[in-house]
Amino acid sequence: MPHPSSPTPGRHIVIVDSDPAAAMVTQHGLQCLLGAGVTATIAPSAGAAWLRCQREAIDLVIVDPAPHDCAAWALIKALRAHCPTIPVLILTAYDTVGLRARMQALGVWRYRAKPAMLQELKQDLCTVFEAV
């Protein structure tokens, strides 16, 4: 039986970030923190993330919506409309009051500003994995 503070094994996280280096840092940090039971992969674009969500069992999508990245906004809207069981966590370097309000209106599951502490992210992930 998994430890209550550990994510359930076999979970798949998709990371969407227009900054490839930031995406790799997030991926590496999550993999180190969560271990082999959780797979964190980087989608090279919002469109690629959408296709993965249609074809694979995805447990969480982490998105960094840049202010003028229409594809990221479209992905978030499509996930909320067509895949409402997939939680969306916003992990953004562009934290503003307006962005927070817009994400709340879209029904994102959680919002974090970068730099986020990995322990906070681990707690978020354990919470979402317990719910799915």
pLDDT per residue over 80-130, tens digit each?
999 999 999 999 988 989 889 988 998 898 999 988 888 888 888 888 777
pLDDT per residue over 14-70, tens digit each?
999 989 999 999 999 888 888 888 899 999 999 999 999 999 999 999 999 887 788
pLDDT per residue over 67-82, tens digit each?
778 899 999 999 999 9
Tell me which of 99 and 8 has the higher pLDDT: 99
pLDDT beyond 50 at 5: no
pLDDT beyond 80 at 4: no
Q: How far is CA 123 from CA 63, 94, 129, in A?
A: 17, 22, 10
Please give the pLDDT value at position 132.
58
pTM score, two decimals? Answer: 0.87
Give me the torsion for CA of 104, 48, 91, 97, rounded to 10°: -40
Residue whose tokens read 């094994």: 9
Please give the pLDDT value at position 9.
59
Domains recognised in the chain with CATH numbers:
11-125 (3.40.50.2300)
